[in-house]
């Protein structure tokens, strides 16, 4: 029960959404699976002539989405299965933490066939993926799946790939600069064990939409009131479409 801080809470049949701080709230929510896309830690300055083509850069900086997060809020006892997106620059720290605390840790990639043009005396944002047959270059973003004994990945054999391909969302979709595509979130929810999926950095609620679609329960936390309102709206729509009356 949440008693010392009283955040704004919106409850629906399969979702509970908190407007508040993940660092305050997450450890009070009990045992849940985490599926989350936290603020990345990276240098988002520069970009030169490419920056103008990457509309999201300034909003990412303005909202602090380049400042990282405290990964010790991931609790190996409370969160027996965890899927977490991260930037290249966070991989070493996150993998060290997760390897020390979880039974198995697997790195996955989301392959984006529409790479951001943002590079200036640097590589693409994450990892380049070159398709020899077509001469195409994709950008990739990492996500890590870690689990404890008894909380292994789930899903049918053909769904157990460690990659998923989907175009990045337009930078202004839902007024948020880093909305994750449905195909990516659907794949992740298909593979993660746990009846209750929690996203402590839910943004516009993409993880929640996928969880509700898949018949799971969802708990989300978001501290930005504008994005919280969008998540409430998206989760209401997901209930209309996927939860029988």
Ligand X SMILES: C[S@@+](CC[C@H](N)C(=O)[O-])C[C@H]1O[C@@H](n2cnc3c(N)ncnc32)[C@H](O)[C@@H]1O
DSSP of 37-56, one letter per residue?
A: -PPPB------HHHHTT-TT
What are the counts of helices (DSSP H) followed by strands (DSSP E) for the chain? Answer: 7, 10
Instruction: Quote the least distance from Cβ 178 to ligand X, whole Å.
Output: 4
102: helix, coil or strand?
coil
**Binding stretches for ligand X (CB under 6 A):** 21-23, 37-39, 63, 65, 176, 178-180, 201, 203-204, 206, 221-224, 227
Minimum distance, C-beta of residue 140 to ligand X, in the bound complex (Å): 17
CA separation, residue 1 to residues 4, 30, 97, 168 (Å): 9, 9, 28, 38
* Closer CB to ligand X, 97 or 182, in the complex: 182
Smallest distance, ligand X to C-beta of residue 49, A: 26
Provide the minimum distance between the beta carbon of 244 and ligand X in the complex, in angstroms, as a whole number: 25
- Cβ proximity to ligand X: between 95 and 173 the closer is 173
Strand pairing class (33-36; 127-131):
unpaired
CA distances from 17 to 10, 13, 59, 174 (A): 5, 11, 24, 17
- Of residues 5 and 137, the one with the C-beta less far from ligand X: 5
Pick the closer one to ligand X by CB: 116 or 206: 206
Smaller CB separation from ligand X, 137 or 167? 167
Nearest distance in Å: CB 125, ligand X: 14
Name the residue number minimizing CB distance to ligand X.
203
Minimum CB distance to ligand X, residue 10 (Å): 15
28/152 with CB nearer ligand X: 28
DSSP state of 168: P
CA distances from 216 to 1, 194, 208 (A): 21, 8, 9
CA distances to 56, 76, 106, 125, 176 from 173, in Å: 10, 33, 30, 20, 6
Q: How far apart (Å, rounded) are the C-alpha atoms in residues 101 and 47?
A: 37
């Amino acid at each position: 029960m949440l008693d010392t801080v009283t955040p704004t809470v919106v409850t629906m049949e399969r979702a509970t959404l908190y407007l508040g701080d993940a660092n305050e709230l997450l450890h009070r929510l009990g045992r849940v699976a985490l599926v989350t896309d936290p603020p990345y830690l990276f240098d988002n300055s520069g970009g030169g002539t490419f920056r103008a083509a990457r509309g999201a850069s300034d909003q990412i900086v303005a909202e602090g989405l380049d400042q990282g997060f405290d990964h010790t809020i991931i609790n190996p006892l409370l969160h027996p299965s965890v899927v977490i997106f991260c930037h290249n620059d966070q991989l070493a720290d996150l993998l060290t933490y997760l390897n020390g605390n979880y039974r198995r840790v697997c790195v996955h990639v989301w392959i984006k066939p529409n790479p951001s043009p943002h590079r200036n005396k640097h590589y693409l944002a994450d990892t380049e993926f070159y398709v020899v047959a077509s001469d195409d270059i994709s950008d990739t973003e990492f996500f890590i799946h870690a689990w404890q004994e008894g909380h292994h990945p789930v899903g049918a054999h053909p769904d157990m790939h460690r990659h998923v391909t989907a175009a990045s969302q337009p930078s202004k979709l839902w007024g948020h600069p880093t909305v994750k595509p449905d195909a990516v979130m659907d794949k992740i929810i298909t593979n993660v064990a746990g009846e209750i999926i929690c996203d402590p950095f839910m943004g516009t609620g993409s993880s929640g939409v996928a969880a509700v679609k898949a018949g799971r329960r969802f708990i989300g936390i978001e501290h930005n009131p504008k994005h919280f309102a969008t998540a409430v709206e998206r989760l209401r729509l997901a209930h209309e479409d996927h939860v029988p009356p």
